[in-house]
């Protein structure tokens, strides 16, 4: 069997710092579990623009298409705000998602018990929370045409178009139902069918996919604004939520804060299966590049490390090792290790980015 391949794109800001801690974990698996990866590294985002004049070169894009999985750190920063729209660092990430056809974005929101008091919600509301938001990633209002800023009469008008085909809705719905079967067998689909025709089509297609092929999975529908309210009221009523690109962007960030910090949350973006049966995949932390703390040892590497855990589970068929890594993170948090974003927990002591990575590796050692 060939060694699985992994392309690392650290990106900008704190991206290289958190990715250095992931490399520690990758090395640990090679040394202690004989689980090796063919790792390569390249540039994306602002650093790619600084080096090559583009946020993603064609050569890097070609590499991403060939490997078993891509692991990305973060892109962007105020340094690049004045760039032309097509040169901004975020366009590199969007190109990866679009050309790899990564239509299913998995964003877990899990509240570790050690951090239940860190959430802005009451402990009983978030303790034990473990939900998954599946966001359609390659269509909808972020990609629909026409789009742009145009002159109408004496004023300008900004236009974005919400557009979905039946097949685009069908495939992300199937990914939600398949994942639900591996979890609690429950899906809630969210849209705005009360005011948007695209929402009407979304609801109809999701219901048909359910009725035809997944009648064993419990399906409910909810308007996205009501879903946002319910996420804040009682999030544990949900297991898998499936929704479109715009609402998924909003709802997943809202769910992220239920756990207390964006620095804790990973994500996976999955596409169609390749020849080896694995889906094309890109894994990345939900947090941004945080240039204000870059180079200071304050960044939380857990989201990026947990993104690698998702890669173990969804790209490399190593579910037990993903569980091991997630348990190591939970152990370290229970032992009181805290990066700067988690310091207002009573009794917490500051750990640098590197110290947090070392602690997780030590917890992995203890798991053997």
Residue 62 sits in a domain whose CATH number is 3.40.718.10
pLDDT at site 253: 85
The answer to whether residue 30 scores a pLDDT higher than 80 is yes
Number of domains making up the chain: 2
pLDDT (tens digit per residue) in 159-209:
999 999 999 999 999 999 999 999 999 999 999 999 999 999 999 999 999
Same domain, 103 and 152: no
Same domain, 82 and 166: no
Which is higher by pLDDT, 344 or 18? Answer: 18
In a domain, 16, yes or no: yes
The answer to whether residue 9 scores a pLDDT higher than 90 is yes
In a domain, 112, yes or no: no
37, 138, 223 from 247: Cα distances, Å: 35, 13, 10
User: Pick from 233, 259, 285: which residue ends a domain?
Assistant: 259
CA atoms within 13 Å, Cβ hemisphere of 99: 16
Confidence tier at 1 by pLDDT (50, 70, 90) = low
pLDDT (tens digit per residue) in 314-352:
999 999 999 999 999 999 999 989 998 887 655 567 899
Q: What is the mean pLDDT of residues 219-230?
A: 97
Candidates 119, 73, 116, 93; CA nearest to 256 is 119
Same domain, 90 and 75: yes
9 forms beta bridges with 72
Same domain, 84 and 149: no
- Phi, psi (degrees; rounded to nearest 5) at 22: -65, -40
Could you tell me what percent of the chain has a pLDDT over 90?
A: 84
In a domain, 114, yes or no: no
User: Pick from 259, 281, 310: which residue ends a domain?
Assistant: 259
In a domain, 343, yes or no: yes
In a domain, 113, yes or no: no
Same domain, 273 and 252: no
User: Pick from 259, 283, 308: which residue ends a domain?
Assistant: 259
Residues found in the chain = 368
Same domain, 195 and 252: yes
Q: Residue 82 corresponds to which tokens in the numbers above?
A: 């004045």
Specify the range with the lowest mean pLDDT, choosing from 134-143, 261-270, 282-291.
Answer: 261-270
Query: What is the rounded CA–CA span in Å between residue 210 and residue 219?
Result: 7
Same domain, 123 and 255: yes
Residue 187: alpha-carbon gap to chain centroid? 19
| Predicted TM-score (pTM) of this structure | 0.90
pLDDT at site 254: 87
Q: What is the mean pLDDT of residues 249-273?
A: 86
Q: What is the mean pLDDT of residues 13-20?
A: 97
Please compute Rg for the chain using Cα positions. 20
Same domain, 73 and 131: no
pLDDT (tens digit per residue) in 276-324:
778 899 999 989 999 999 999 999 999 999 999 999 999 999 999 999 9
Same domain, 296 and 270: yes
In a domain, 322, yes or no: yes
- Contact partners, residue 67, CB within 8 Å, separation at least 6: 5, 6, 7, 40
Same domain, 249 and 303: no
Query: What is the rounded CA–CA span in Å between residue 332 and residue 334?
Result: 5
Give the position of tokens 């969210």: 190
Same domain, 223 and 271: no
| Active-site amino acid positions | 142, 192, 225, 249, 253
2: containing domain: 1-107+262-368
In a domain, 153, yes or no: yes
In a domain, 93, yes or no: yes
Same domain, 156 and 172: yes
Residue 212 exposed, middle or buried by CB count within 10 Å (0-12, 13-18, 19+): exposed
């Amino acid at each position: 069997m060939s060694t699985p391949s992994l392309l690392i794109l650290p990106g900008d800001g704190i991206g290289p710092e958190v990715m250095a801690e992931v490399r520690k974990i990758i090395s640990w698996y090679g040394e202690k579990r004989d689980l090796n990866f063919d790792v390569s590294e390249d540039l994306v985002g602002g650093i790619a623009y600084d080096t090559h004049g583009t946020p993603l070169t064609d050569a890097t894009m070609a590499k991403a298409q060939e490997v078993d999985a891509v692991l990305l750190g973060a892109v962007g920063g105020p340094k690049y705000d004045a760039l032309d729209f097509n040169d901004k660092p975020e366009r590199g990430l969007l190109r990866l998602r679009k050309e790899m056809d990564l239509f299913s974005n998995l964003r877990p929101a899990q509240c570790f018990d050690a951090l239940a008091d860190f959430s802005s919600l009451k402990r009983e509301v978030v303790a034990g929370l473990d939900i998954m938001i599946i966001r359609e990633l390659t269509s909808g209002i972020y990609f629909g045409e026409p789009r742009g800023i145009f002159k109408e009469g004496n004023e300008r008008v900004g236009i974005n178009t919400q557009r979905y085909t039946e097949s685009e809705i069908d495939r992300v719905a199937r990914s939600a139902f398949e994942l639900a079967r591996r979890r609690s067998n429950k899906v809630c689909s969210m849209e705005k069918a009360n005011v948007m025709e695209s929402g009407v089509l979304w609801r109809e297609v999701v219901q048909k996919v359910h009725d035809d092929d997944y009648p064993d999975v419990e399906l409910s529908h909810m308007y996205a604004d009501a879903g946002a309210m319910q996420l804040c009221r009682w999030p544990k009523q949900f297991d898998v939520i499936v929704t479109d690109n715009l609402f998924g962007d909003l709802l997943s960030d809202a769910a992220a804060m239920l756990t207390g910090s964006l620095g804790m949350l990973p994500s996976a973006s999955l596409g169609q299966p390749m020849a080896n049966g694995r889906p094309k995949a890109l894994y990345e932390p939900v947090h941004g590049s945080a240039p204000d703390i870059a180079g200071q040892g304050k960044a939380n590497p857990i989201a990026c490390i947990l993104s690698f855990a998702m890669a173990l589970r969804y790209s490399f068929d190593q579910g037990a090792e993903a569980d091991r890594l997630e348990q190591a993170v939970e152990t370290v948090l229970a032992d009181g290790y805290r990066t700067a974003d988690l310091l207002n927990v009573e009794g917490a002591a500051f750990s640098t980015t590197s110290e947090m990575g070392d602690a997780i590796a030590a917890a992995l050692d203890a798991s053997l």
